[in-house]
Amino acid sequence: MTTPAHEDTHVDHTDVPEHGVYVPPSGWHRWTYPGWLRVIWATPLFGALGLGLVVLLRWAASWDPIWKWSSIATVELTAVPLGFLVGLGGFDYWARYCSGKPTLPEDHSRHGARSWRDYFRINTDHKVIGVQYVVTTMTFFVIGGFLALLFRAELAHPGDQYFNPQTFNALVTDHASLMIFLVIIPAFAGLGNFVIPLMIGAADMAFPRLNALSYWLLPIAGIMLLVGLAIPGGGPSAGWTCYAPLCQHQPLGDVFFNMAVQWAGASSIMTALNFLVTIITMRAPGMTFWRMPLLVWANFTTSMLVVLATPFIAGSQFFVMFDRVMHTNFFEAGNGGYVIGYQHIFWFYSHPAVYIMILPGFGIISEVVAVMSRKPIFGYRLMALSLLAILVLGFSVWAHHMFVAGMAGWLRVPIMVTTLLIAVPTGIKVFSWLATLWEGRIHFTTSMLFAVGFIFCFVIGGLSGIWLGAVPIDIQANQSYYIVAHIHYVLFGGSVFTIFAGIYYWYPKMTGRMYNERLGQLHFWLTFIGFNLTFFPMHYIGLQGMPRRVADYANRFGGINEFISIASFGLGASTLIFLYNMIWSWAHGPAAPNNPWRGLGIEWQVSSPPPIFNFEEVPQVVGSPYEYGVPGARHVIFGAPQPEPVPAD
Amino acid sequence: MGYDYPPPIHFSSRISPVIVGIFLFIGSEIMLFGSFFTVYFFDRVVNHTHPWPPPPYERPVFVAGVNTLILVTSSFTMHWATQSIKRGNRAGLQAGMVLTFLLGLTFLLTQVIEYHRIGFNTSDTSFAATFFGLTGLHGCHVFVGLTILLAMTIRSFRGHFSPEHHHGIEVGGIYWHFVDVMWIIVYTTVYLL
């Protein structure tokens, strides 16, 4: 039966009255056709409309001043990106649908990449979108890392060298915001986008047009954060947490943070919703929930977290926006507002967000460890169930970020208990990986090195996390470099290492070429050593009392900070090897075989790169995805007699 | 390498993807409302703001109550429209859609007039902030819902949708019912309690 959501995958539309006929553009029509030519005029048009709306409204209501920049910036940061998306064609299909016109039939000309140009437009192919995501996030990874090197240069010596404190804070804020909202969260969305439809045997995601749109929100958010740095008066500088009411008294640049988070959040909610619907409704026959690869499980739970928690950060940013633009008093104590209300709402998202930033990484590590150890993953069901346990517990630990914020005293101990409890499912995963490695035939490819490096760093970060979860220690270590060390051990040594593992692991599948193994291993060792030299000493200076987010510090921390800065430059330089390896191999690397790692997953049974529609026919799943070393074990067979398709309605 | 068309699609659930999608989206929306209810709870209960609303402000309970009845009625007309197209009754679909749209529009315009005459502004204490926050957020949802209803109405007059092919009506209807139920909660919390 034909349903509107699946028109992409149906061939014959001639009998449906809703569909028109596709005519390719020519002559001046190219300016009205979705694409960069239309972006050129639609973006300024929407910008002018937004500006006109605010100024006319303020003039008509005789509000003073008419040119109030915080209001103008808020509206413009909605209007200009909207104009860009309209120009690029993000809403074309829905606009035609809503206005009652016949929708254009999907002739698949906008699907898949035939040249590099196809990566720079709205493309409905999940594999193209996956590559778009990964390349975008790696670009912002380099930019965000560069910002970190800038303030590490400032921190090499006590006193003010290169930046004033306001600029220093803006650099710290932008570094954190870019790394969290533009690198780690979307990098997992990108890898998931590429492999999940392949892994579950689907031709694409459930909503390909929504998928394309949600990618294009991402560069908007990133550019917004970067432009914020250059705004007169200073960039966003209240930290990535952007606590109210502090951030409401910041310069104009803070509006850019405010709006960028909204765009990035919208993007990740749309992607997560797409993942959930895809995993629920599009699995191949025989792919029961207990036969799903753990990466699919991980993205399923992560997407639940995103869909349910991200609205809270949207809410918190809305309140800040209302306080700024409409002079409401959500958090101003003098007028009945609740000052730490922002922190509660913010962390009710942002604590689940740390699981959003690590659960897909857990999934990647499970794939890599099982394949490279040539053994079935240890405790498959418990691995999946522990993800669900983290999902549930993740909502109950937010206030451990606020032990010293002045929140209700009775809340401390219950939150401490749940915080320590959530280490249990995480521990189950770590021990399962170790048990998988046990007596395996381990192949130390680059992805495996990153996986083992991840386990090493993540255990250190996890242990300091348990430590910080205890109220008395948290009171001592709060706002110190100990926190910085902890967060980098779980987010850099944790999440970023898993992203590297994932990129190296699926690189042959994504590009159809092999990367240089020797350069990959060099990259791992330099990153691993540089990372530990940079962040391990921060535990020490943190406990000695050096506060974070401050441009200047006591002279006694001088020597060790110089050491950290030098190590951080080495860490930064190691990324150049990664970039060189990835870019050079993409153009000149040897052609990749279909299954270089001898994996059982469905994604390894198709060509590298996969065909535009993934499969000629729907694959039939017959067993577990992890039966490595089991003679005759099959995960999937092609060309099996097809069962009757389940009707959609 | 590469085929011109994708393989026939296989569905692993009996519910259509669009329906799963709209329910998940509504879950997300409920959490967004949840954050607004949380800040309301903080400003009113945790902060011990007593009495609520702080004098001299008053809430137009009666006008908003009548408005509630209007919105609830629109849910029934929406249901009628959905059932009509399932039975192939196009006139019923069109009448139901027009009625639903007009009732929704009446609700929104009443709320605009209510804002205009309410006697306090967004900058007047946290009470006003939460009042305009919750009712305004809901108002935005009514606006989005009306946009969807308008598109559905236009298409129903252009001869689209059929007894076998009516997901457009169903999804929009589910969203409209959500907007309606959410208003009952917002009305109870903001006006009555």
Count other Cβ atoms within 10 Å, centred on residue A21: 10
Smallest Cβ–Cβ distance between B28 and the set A100, A282, A308 belongs to A308
Instruction: Write down the pLDDT at residue A16.
Output: 47
Tell me what the mean pLDDT of segment A78-99 comes to.
91
The SS3 of residue A357 is: coil
Residue A508: inside a domain: yes
Q: Single out the residue of A491, A391, A460 nearest to residue A177, CA to CA.
A: A491
Report how far residue A198's alpha carbon sits from residue A194's, in angstroms, rounded to the nearest whole number: 7
Smallest Cβ–Cβ distance between B12 and the set A11, A283, A332 belongs to A283
Smallest Cβ–Cβ distance between A336 and the set B5, B9, B47 belongs to B47
Residue A46: inside a domain: no
* Tens digit of each residue's pLDDT (9 = 90 or more) over A191-207: 999 999 999 999 899 99
Q: What is the DSSP letter of B156?
A: H
Whose tokens are 């390349």? That residue is: A135
Confidence of residue A118 (pLDDT cuts 50, 70, 90): confident
Residue B34 Cα, gap to closest chain A Cα (Å): 8
Residue A18, pLDDT > 60, answer no
Burial class (CB in 10 A: 0-12, 13-18, 19+), B116: exposed
Q: Is the ipTM of this complex over 0.90?
A: yes
- Chain A residues within 8 A of B133 when measuring between CB atoms: 319, 322, 328, 330
Whose tokens are 């997300």? That residue is: B28
Residue A525, pLDDT > 80, answer yes
DSSP conformation letters of A172-203: HHHHHHIIIIIIIHHHHHHHHHHHHHHHTT-S
Cβ–Cβ gap A311/B24 under 8 Å: no
Q: Which residue of A has its CA nearest to B9?
A: A9
Count other Cβ atoms within 10 Å, centred on residue A424: 12
Residue B101 Cα, gap to closest chain A Cα (Å): 15
What residues does each domain of chain B span?
17-192
Report how far residue B81's alpha carbon sits from residue A301's, in angstroms, rounded to the nearest whole number: 36
Burial of A41-52, coded b for 16+ CB within 10 Å and e otherwise, reads: ebbeebbeebbe
Look up the CATH number of the domain holding residue A173: 1.20.210.10
- Chain B residues within 8 A of A330 when measuring between CB atoms: 39, 43, 126, 129-130, 133
Confidence of residue B7 (pLDDT cuts 50, 70, 90): confident
How big is chain A by its Cα radius of gyration, in Å?
Answer: 25
Smallest Cβ–Cβ distance between B160 and the set A18, A278, A617 belongs to A18
Residue A36, pLDDT > 70, answer yes
Cβ–Cβ gap A328/B147 under 8 Å: no
Report how far residue A603's alpha carbon sits from residue A24's, in angstroms, rounded to the nearest whole number: 34
A374 φ, ψ (degrees, to nearest 5): 55, 40
Q: Is the whole-model pTM more than 0.90?
A: yes
- Helices and strands (DSSP H and E) totals, chain A: 20, 2
Q: Are B57 and B176 in contact (CB under 8 A)?
A: no
Kindly state the helix (H) or strand (E) to which residue A274 belongs, with its residue range.
helix A253-281
pLDDT higher for A300 or A95?
Answer: A300
Report how far residue A549's alpha carbon sits from residue A240's, in angstroms, rounded to the nearest whole number: 11
The CATH number assigned to the domain with range B17-192 reads 1.20.120.80
Angle value at C-alpha A328, between A322 and A330, nearest 5 degrees? 90
Q: Are B26 and A635 in contact (CB under 8 A)?
A: no
Instruction: Write down the pLDDT at residue A647.
Output: 57
Cβ–Cβ gap B43/A338 under 8 Å: yes
Give the A:B interface size as CB pairs under 8 Å.
222
Q: Are A218 and A262 in contact (CB under 8 A)?
A: no
Q: Kindly state whether A3 is in contact with chain B, defined as any CB-CB distance less than 8 angstroms.
A: yes
Instruction: Write down the pLDDT at residue B124.
Output: 87
- Chain A residues within 8 A of B4 when measuring between CB atoms: 108
Residue A170: inside a domain: yes
Terminus-to-terminus CA distance in chain A, angstroms?
8
pLDDT higher for A423 or A7?
Answer: A423
Residue A131: inside a domain: yes
Residue A230: inside a domain: yes
Instruction: Write down the pLDDT at residue A14.
Output: 43
Tell me the C-alpha to C-alpha distance, in Å, between residue A313 and each of A181, A306, A328.
Answer: 12, 11, 18
Q: What is the DSSP letter of A620?
A: E
Q: Kindly state whether B34 is in contact with chain A, defined as any CB-CB distance less than 8 angstroms.
A: yes
Percent of chain B with pLDDT over 70: 97
DSSP conformation letters of A365-432: HHHHHHHHHTSPPTTHHHHHHHHHHHHHHGGG-GGGG-TTTT--GGGHHHHHHHHHHTHHHHHHHHHH
Instruction: Write down the pLDDT at residue A191.
Output: 96
Q: SS3 breakdown of chain B: % helix, strand, coil, rounded to 5?
A: 75, 0, 25
Q: Are A547 and A480 in contact (CB under 8 A)?
A: yes
Instruction: Write down the pLDDT at residue A643.
Output: 57
Beta strand spans in A541-627 (E):
620-621
- Cα diameter, chain B: 74
Tell me what the mean pLDDT of segment A616-634 comes to.
88
Residue A634, pLDDT > 50, answer yes
Cβ–Cβ gap B7/A316 under 8 Å: no
Residue at A85: amino acid letter: L
Q: Which residue of B has its CA nearest to A11?
A: B5
Instruction: Write down the pLDDT at residue A19.
Output: 56
* Tens digit of each residue's pLDDT (9 = 90 or more) over A591-612: 999 999 999 999 999 998 998 8
- Chain B residues within 8 A of A284 when measuring between CB atoms: 10, 12
Instruction: Write down the pLDDT at residue A21.
Output: 59
Cβ–Cβ gap B12/A285 under 8 Å: yes
Give which of B12, B160, B166 to mutate to test A binding, by max A Cβ within 10 Å: B12
Residue A52: inside a domain: no
Confidence of residue A431 (pLDDT cuts 50, 70, 90): very high
Report how far residue A212's alpha carbon sits from residue A270's, in angstroms, rounded to the nearest whole number: 10
Smallest Cβ–Cβ distance between B3 and the set A314, A318, A611 belongs to A611
The SS3 of residue A636 is: strand
Residue A598: inside a domain: no
Average pLDDT of chain B, as a whole number: 92
The mean-pLDDT minimum among A108-117, A371-380, A553-562, A592-601 falls in A108-117
Residue A387 Cα, gap to closest chain B Cα (Å): 19
Q: Residues 69-128, chain B: which have Cβ within 8 Å of A?
A: 122-123, 125-128
Residue A7, pLDDT > 50, answer no
Report how far residue A633's alpha carbon sits from residue A620's, in angstroms, rounded to the nearest whole number: 14
Cβ–Cβ gap A8/B6 under 8 Å: yes
pLDDT higher for A616 or B35?
Answer: B35
Residue A490, pLDDT > 90, answer yes
Confidence of residue A15 (pLDDT cuts 50, 70, 90): very low
* Tens digit of each residue's pLDDT (9 = 90 or more) over B134-145: 999 999 999 999
Tell me what the mean pLDDT of segment A126-145 comes to.
96
Report how far residue A257's alpha carbon sits from residue A254's, in angstroms, rounded to the nearest whole number: 5
Residue A603: inside a domain: no
Residue B146, pLDDT > 90, answer yes
Report how far residue A205's alpha carbon sits from residue A198's, in angstroms, rounded to the nearest whole number: 10
Count other Cβ atoms within 10 Å, centred on residue B148: 18
- Chain B residues within 8 A of A273 when measuring between CB atoms: 21, 24-25, 28
Q: Which residue of A has its CA nearest to B27?
A: A308
Q: Which residue of B has its CA nearest to A200?
A: B12
Cβ–Cβ gap B129/A328 under 8 Å: yes
Percent of chain A with pLDDT over 90: 73
- Chain B residues within 8 A of A283 when measuring between CB atoms: 10, 12
Q: Single out the residue of A612, A601, A631 nearest to residue A284, CA to CA.
A: A601
Give which of A16, A126, A335, A340 to mutate to test B binding, by max B Cβ within 10 Å: A335
Q: Residues 514-553, chain A: which have Cβ within 8 Å of B?
A: none
Confidence of residue A505 (pLDDT cuts 50, 70, 90): very high
B162 φ, ψ (degrees, to nearest 5): -150, 170
Q: Single out the residue of A262, A226, A254 nearest to residue A166, CA to CA.
A: A254
Give which of B14, B15, B16, B134 to mutate to test A binding, by max A Cβ within 10 Å: B16
Residue A634 Cα, gap to closest chain B Cα (Å): 21
Q: Which three-class secondary structure string do you get for A58-121?
A: HHHCCCCCCCCHHHHHHHHHHHHHHHHHHHHCCCHHHHHHHCCCCECCCCCCCCCCCCHHHHHC
Average pLDDT of chain A, as a whole number: 90
Cβ–Cβ gap A613/B24 under 8 Å: no
Instruction: Write down the pLDDT at residue A5.
Output: 41
Number of structural domains in chain A:
1
Q: Residues 259-318, chain A: which have Cβ within 8 Å of B?
A: 269, 273, 276-278, 280-285, 287, 307-312, 314-316, 318
Cβ–Cβ gap B2/A108 under 8 Å: no
Smallest Cβ–Cβ distance between A335 and the set B16, B32, B125 belongs to B125
Residue A553, pLDDT > 50, answer yes
Residue at B85: amino acid letter: I
- Chain B residues within 8 A of A316 when measuring between CB atoms: 35
Q: Single out the residue of A261, A271, A299 nearest to residue A283, CA to CA.
A: A299
Residue at A336: amino acid letter: G
Q: Residues 325-344, chain A: which have Cβ within 8 Å of B?
A: 326-330, 332, 335-338, 341, 344
Adjacent-strand bridge partners of A14: none
Tell me the C-alpha to C-alpha distance, in Å, between residue A3 and each of A104, B9, B144, B170.
Answer: 15, 12, 23, 12
Residue A12, pLDDT > 60, answer no
Domain enclosing residue A226, as ranges: 127-588
Confidence of residue A648 (pLDDT cuts 50, 70, 90): low
Residue B165, pLDDT > 90, answer no
* Tens digit of each residue's pLDDT (9 = 90 or more) over A450-477: 999 999 999 999 999 999 999 999 999 9
Residue A152 Cα, gap to closest chain B Cα (Å): 37
Burial of A175-201, coded b for 16+ CB within 10 Å and e otherwise, reads: bbbbbbbbbbbbbbbbbbbbbbbbbbb
Q: Kindly state whether A648 is in contact with chain B, defined as any CB-CB distance less than 8 angstroms.
A: yes
Percent of chain A with pLDDT over 70: 94
Whose tokens are 């659930």? That residue is: B13
Smallest Cβ–Cβ distance between A617 and the set B7, B137, B167 belongs to B7
